[in-house]
Every structure is written in structure tokens, then in C-alpha cells.
Amino acid sequence: MKQFLSDFSKLIKFRLTFLVVFSASITFLMGSKMQVYRGSIPGIDWMNWLILIAGGFFVTGAANCFNEIIEKDLDKLMTRTKDRPMPAGRMTTGQGLVSGLVMGMLGTWLLGKLNLETGILSVFSILLYAFAYTPLKRKSPIAVFVGAIPGALPPLIGYLAALGHTTTFFAADYEIAVILFLVQFVWQFPHFWSIAWVLDDDYKKAGFRLLPTTQRDKTSALITFLSTVVLIPVSLLPTFYGFGGYYIAGVSLIAGLVFAWLAFKLLLNRDLASARKVMFCSFFYLPLVQLVLLFDFLTK
């Protein structure tokens, strides 16, 4: 049982799946609060919240499962991934495919119960991640841009889920969901590029080309730094548009400046230690900003 749980966790990339569900949950609560404020619903529908968590978990797990099926032979080449259940031989491709299909259909059905738009976006995220981003990783650094789209969809999915069947996305303060999509979209570039810098030697074994110039050079470091600079004004948009207050503005500014400073150090030093600091900062940046934004939004 311990081995099964470990393999299942690796199959669905549990930490990544958790982050996706977390992001969707934050915007669900924000969207629900907005609906309560407008008088569309009497209160937060916690059953729909649980459906969103379960559906988001299965959809994300399915996308990651399909990704691992496609990359099974490549995963065998990399130290970081060779112990995943399929490349290690503890699970067959057929078993992985069945697992992915079951999770994908179940997750889509659950999210579709909330409303049609949520179900459609979930299918789109699976297709884009598994069948566009995954093969592009060996072709061009543009894969990071493509992968950032499904990676930023959880805020949209969570906000749409909160609307239920009472209204449609484009009729209910859609700028909130779009702005949160933009924050998560821009954040992914320094996040992925710092990971690619740290794991570049391992990625090269599988032929992955994820750094902006496909190598650890000054230009890649510069582009990574510029992406953290762009993130600062984007993260202030919630306050600019009035659904975030001074708390989120202050936290976003401070966190963004720390993020940018670490990326600037990477530009100066161009070493693994600096890249790891950027990477770990990216792990903390998004949940911190989202939690403070939720607190700010709910207490307004």
C-alpha cells in the first residue's frame, strides 16, 4: 500500500496537482463572495467547493498522467524522473492510460456539473498541457509559453465554478478572473526558467529545451530577470482594479522585489546556487500572494 500511494503520488505529480487545486479554490471563494455581495446567492456553496477540489484534482492528475505516458522513455533518461512508476516498470503504459482516462472523464464530469464553461476549460487544459506543451518541450523554448496557459487556467476555472448556473462568465466581473490568470501566467516564466536552469543537465539527457536560449547563458538569465520585473506591476492590478486593498499591494510589491532581486543575482552570478534561490522563491511567491489576496478580498 505504501508503494502504491507513492507511485500514485508520482503519477499525478501530487505537489503540482495540489498547487493547481489550491489556486482554483482561492478564486472560487473570491467569486462566491462576489456573488453573495451581488445577491445572486445566499452564501458560499461548500458542496460546489468540494466538487471543484475533487474535479480539479482528477483533471490535473489526468493531464499529468498523459504527460508521463508520452514521456515514459524520456523519463528513464533523467535522474529526477526515472523512479516514476511507468519508466521504473512498476506500472504499464496501459494501466497509466486507463488511470488517466478515468480521472479525466470523472474530473470533467464533476466540473461540468458546476457549469458548462468550467467543464470545457478543464478539457482544454488537459489537451493543451498533454498534447501541445509536452511534445514542444523537445522542440523549442516556446513550450514554456504554451505550458503557461493551462498552468494559469486554475484561477479561471475556480472563478467560473463559483458562478454556478446563475450567470455566465462574461457577465459577472470577469476582470477579476482575467487578472488572476495574468498573475499566474507571468509568474510561471521565472518559475519554470529557474527550474530549467537548476535541472538543465538532467533535461539535456532527454533533449528538453526549456531555457530561453536553450542554455545557461547571460541572455537566459536576463530574460528570467525581466519576467520577474514584469510580474511586479501585473501583481498590483488587483489593487488598481479595486478588488484588492493595501495589504495585497504591499505583500505583492515586497514579494515581487525580493523575487526580482534574486533573479538579478542570477543575472550577475549565473550559477546554480542563485538559480535555486529563484526557484525556491517562486514556490512561496504564488501561494503567499493568493492567500493574502483572499484575506484582503474577504475582509473588504
Closest CA to 226 of 285, 267, 196, 275: 267
> Per this entry, what is the length of the chain?
300
Residues 239 and 246: their CA atoms lie apart, in Å, by 7
Q: Residue 31: what pLDDT?
A: 86
Residue bearing cell 488517466: 100
What phi and psi values does residue 141 have, to the nearest 5 degrees? -60, -15
Closest CA to 155 of 288, 8, 30: 30
Q: Residue 283: what pLDDT?
A: 94
165: confidence class by pLDDT, cuts 50, 70, 90? low
296: confidence class by pLDDT, cuts 50, 70, 90? confident
Is the pLDDT at 241 greater than 90, yes or no? Answer: no
Mean pLDDT of 198-202: 93
The cell numbers describing 48, all together, are 460546489
Are 224 and 190 in contact by the 8 Å Cβ rule? The answer is: yes
The interaxial angle of helices 153-163 and 174-198, nearest 10 deg, is 150
**Has domain 1-166 been given CATH number 3.40.190.10?**
no
8: confidence class by pLDDT, cuts 50, 70, 90? confident
Q: Residue 2: what pLDDT?
A: 81
Q: Residue 173: what pLDDT?
A: 61
Q: Residue 5: what pLDDT?
A: 85
Q: Residue 43: what pLDDT?
A: 80
Is the pLDDT at 227 greater than 60, yes or no? Answer: yes
Q: Give the residue extent of every domain in the chain.
A: 1-166, 173-300
**pLDDT tens per residue, range 55-74:** 999 999 999 999 999 999 99
Residues 128 and 131: their CA atoms lie apart, in Å, by 6
Is the pLDDT at 144 greater than 90, yes or no? Answer: yes
Residues 109 and 102: their CA atoms lie apart, in Å, by 11
Q: What is the mean pLDDT of the chain?
A: 90
pTM: predicted TM-score of the whole model, two decimal places = 0.92
Residue 260: half-sphere exposure toward Cβ, Cα within 13 Å: 16
Reduce the secondary structure of the chain to three states and give it as a string.
Answer: CHHHHHHHHHHCCHHHHHHHHHHHHHHHHHHHHHHHHHCCCCCCCHHHHHHHHHHHHHHHHHHHHHHHHHCHHHHCCCCCCCCCCCCCCCCCHHHHHHHHHHHHHHHHHHHHHHCHHHHHHHHHHHHHHHHHHHHHCCCCCHHHHHHHHHHCHHHHHHHHHHHCCCCCHHHCCHHHHHHHHHHHHHHHHHHHHHHHHHCHHHHHHHCCCCCCCCCCCHHHHHHHHHHHHHHHHHHCHHHHCCCCCHHHHHHHHHHHHHHHHHHHHHHHHCCHHHHHHHHHHHHHHHHHHHHHHHHHHHCC
Amino acid identity for residue 197 in this structure: W
